[in-house]
A and B are shown apart, each in its own frame.
Chain A
């Protein structure tokens, strides 16, 4: 069912809030990744506020959809979206990366309810999601398994093993979401270790491939709907995103991959930039 304009607008406003919290929490932490979380804010907002069947007040609800985050370093976007969705108070986001916090620098399953899996070391999230999807299909469970992953982590061999496994086993209850922002720590992905043609590679591994604008929320939601309607293959949504989206100065610049916002002045500048987004995002899908 297509979203109404006001529903879309509501999600976009939420995404702005999610971005603001990401910046606030990174400033408070003084370290962490900025670009990836900002780039995936629209998608995580759409996931937590529309796509996922879940219950923030009952994170262990047995029939919830499962969202695995493979590239654990963008966990601020997950924490922020979870907080805004009601899993825990938004203020707790400011404990990110601090001693005793449930919000570990890289997410841990046993620390925070709702984090499905421990991740950080790259290339192994899709395998875990595939194993999960395989096991739940054995038990004829109806819920869906999602896995968010980065483009850079496609350098890892383990990920290609997972692609083979999911393709072989036709895991149609699995949807992968690739954050195709073209950057990784040392530079642009196509300079470091070229991935293109990425679509062809997934297709050759027996995946159903969808490509979308990762900042166009209705497009992402439509792709998730289509993925659920594919019964013979796992689906990958290659989401073209702009790293650092929302903060013009850092958009698309690989140097911000592992850069945390520093100081009050920079925070203000970044937040001001974010807060001017209002009309800009909505114009992108109209």
Chain B
């Protein structure tokens, strides 16, 4: 059942409010800008779709248009942060951190300056644009980088909170956002802290622990609800911070004894890998990886792509059953 402590939206399964997580960035950036005048936002010719324009309208003097130049955006921001600003750099995840990874590595992460890299339109759910724009490797790229915090909000509200928290943390951060409208599961009262997971669906004696990140968390919750009808008890945990990964995951996993990870990302190097690394060291157990299986995406509508690449509700349910059958 839904964990009341998470203070989730009451309409989570019944016509939930729909909003893209990037809207959360837009709101959060304005909020962070109001709280701290050091906050600046840089855009690489995509201010409308990244929602950077919301900040632009509010703080025109603190908005910087970079043109289509993601490498320059990262390095200019590094210089600004080095001086004392708190820059958010905004583009599509395919280009930032896709194109400018080395600049982020050297001038932001190794330089250790607080730039917040915001990658929008992540995942296959960007849809018709096709594989070039469907970024599925960003969490792996950024998770491998020392000094870098990696956050993947599950909905617009969490995206807002993450953005505000990122501006305050004083460290290099990567945040990933989606283009499509997705269910708003959390509320203003849902706790959020960088580096902390939250159990959204709990069971007294779970058979499998599901760890999900990003908007697919909603599919994981729908799967949990369906599985309950079949008397298969699971927990569903929201892993918004991919790095540093909350050690609490070990306890939650041990309670169930088998794990399913769910992410709109390559299964190589993302949330599933991070969870597996942590469990291998602390409590090795069977795991199924729901995500994109080492392939590129293609054009299509978001819902059919999520289904086709094995990240739909049915796929998550199948993964749960599969891993449960392998339990020792």
Residue among A118, A131, A161 facing the most chain B CB atoms (10 A cut-off) = A131
One of A134-142, A185-193, A216-224 at the interface: A134-142
Pair B106/A119 contact, Cβ less than 8 Å: yes
Question: Given contacts A118-B106, A127-B72, A161-B71, are A132 and B79 in contact (CB under 8 A)?
Answer: yes
Q: Are B111 and A117 in contact (CB under 8 A)?
A: yes
Q: Are B76 and A134 in contact (CB under 8 A)?
A: yes
B 67-96 to A, binary, CB cutoff 8 A, 1 in contact else 0: 101011011111110111101000000000
B residues within 8 A CB of A130?
Answer: 76, 79
Q: Could you tell me if A162 and B82 are in contact, using CB atoms closer than 8 angstroms? A: no
| Contact among A110, A118, A138, A165 with B72 in the assembled complex (CB-CB below 8 Å) | A165
What is the predominant secondary structure among interface residues of chain B facing chain A? helix
Q: Interface size class for chain A?
A: 20 to 34
| Residues in B neighbouring A124, C-beta threshold 8 A | 71, 75, 78, 103, 106-107
Complex interface: chain A residues within 8 A of B67 (CB): 161, 164-165
Contact of B84 among A118, A120, A135 (CB under 8 A): A135
Binary CB contact string for chain A from 96 to 127 against chain B (1 if under 8 A, 0 otherwise): 00000000000011100000111111001001
Nearest-CB residue, chain A, relative to B100: A158
Name A106's closest neighbour in chain B (CB-CB).
Answer: B106
| Number of chain B interface residues as a range | 20 to 34
Q: Are A116 and B106 in contact (CB under 8 A)?
A: no
Confirm or deny: A129 has a beta carbon within 8 angstroms of a beta carbon on chain B.
yes
CB of B107, distance to nearest CB on chain A (Å): 6
A68, B66: Cα distance in complex, Å: 21
Judged by a CB distance under 8 angstroms, whether A157 is at the interface is: yes
Q: Given A136-B83, A161-B69, A164-B69, A131 and B78 touching (CB < 8 A)?
A: yes
Is B181 engaged at the interface, CB distance under 8 Å to the other chain?
Answer: no
Closest residue on chain B to residue A110 by CB atoms: B112
Q: Could you list 10 examples of A-B contacts with CB < 8 Å?
A: A108-B110, A110-B111, A116-B82, A127-B79, A127-B107, A131-B75, A131-B79, A131-B87, A134-B64, A134-B79
Given contacts A117-B82, A131-B80, A135-B85, 19 further A-B contacts (CB under 8 A): A110-B112, A117-B79, A118-B111, A120-B106, A127-B79, A130-B79, A131-B78, A131-B82, A131-B83, A132-B80, A134-B64, A134-B76, A138-B62, A161-B71, A162-B72, A162-B75, A164-B67, A165-B67, A165-B72
Interface residues of A (CB under 8 A from B): 68, 108-110, 116-121, 124, 127-136, 138, 157-158, 161-162, 164-165
